[in-house]
């Protein structure tokens, strides 16, 4: 775990050191964040086939719900409002929340980054989504994962500020 703490501190430092428009800094910080999230996900994925199947079935339904939000709503506020039910349910049903974070989170963030033609709209949406993911993570995930999400939020704030 101490090695993980070192990597977490390095990711935080990489985000803090991002210089205006230096794509190498952005790439390094993003890579560190992705690696840390993947390491925790690998540790938290179900160990049994039955549990894995259940989580993936829930994730499939979540995926449909998320896609509906992106296809049918056209403002960051409307999309966020539509997805709110998934985040709230994830707080009450831990398996649902784990499916959202462990399986659907990355794809959702990737879609949010480029959903609108307007960068300001994407920035607003990614901020809203990450706030909700952080809230959910506080309830159901290890502290380290919540910290990674906070670092990722700071990363995107810098990304969209440039």
- CA pair distance 151, 136, nearest whole angstrom: 16
In the chain, domain spans? 46-161
- CA pair distance 96, 141, nearest whole angstrom: 12
pLDDT at 10: 87
Q: Which of 28, 55, 6, 38 is nearest to 145 (CA)?
A: 38
pLDDT at 9: 87
pLDDT tens by residue, 109-140? 999 999 999 999 999 999 999 999 999 999 99
pLDDT tens by residue, 31-75? 999 999 999 999 999 989 999 999 999 999 999 999 999 999 999
Quick one: 151 exposed, middle or buried, by C-beta within 10 A (0-12, 13-18, 19+)?
A: buried
Q: Is the pTM of this model over 0.75?
A: yes
- CA pair distance 71, 136, nearest whole angstrom: 24
pLDDT bin (cut points 50, 70, 90) of residue 20 is: low
Neighbours of 40 (CB within 10 A): 17
């Amino acid at each position: 775990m101490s090695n993980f703490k070192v990597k977490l501190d390095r990711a935080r430092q990489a985000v803090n050191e991002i210089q205006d428009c230096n794509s190498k800094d952005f790439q390094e910080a993003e890579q560190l964040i992705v690696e840390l999230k993947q390491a925790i996900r690998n540790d938290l994925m179900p160990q049994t086939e039955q549990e894995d199947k259940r989580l993936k079935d829930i994730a499939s339904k979540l995926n449909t719900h998320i896609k509906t939000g992106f296809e049918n709503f056209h403002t960051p506020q409307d999309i966020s409002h539509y997805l709110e039910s998934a985040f709230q349910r994830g707080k009450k049903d831990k398996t649902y929340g784990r499916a959202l974070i462990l399986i659907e989170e990355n794809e959702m963030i990737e879609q949010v980054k480029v959903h609108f033609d307007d960068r300001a709209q994407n920035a607003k949406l990614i901020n809203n989504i990450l706030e909700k993911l952080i809230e959910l993570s506080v309830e159901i995930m290890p502290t380290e994962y919540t910290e990674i999400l906070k670092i990722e939020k700071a990363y995107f704030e810098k990304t969209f500020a440039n």
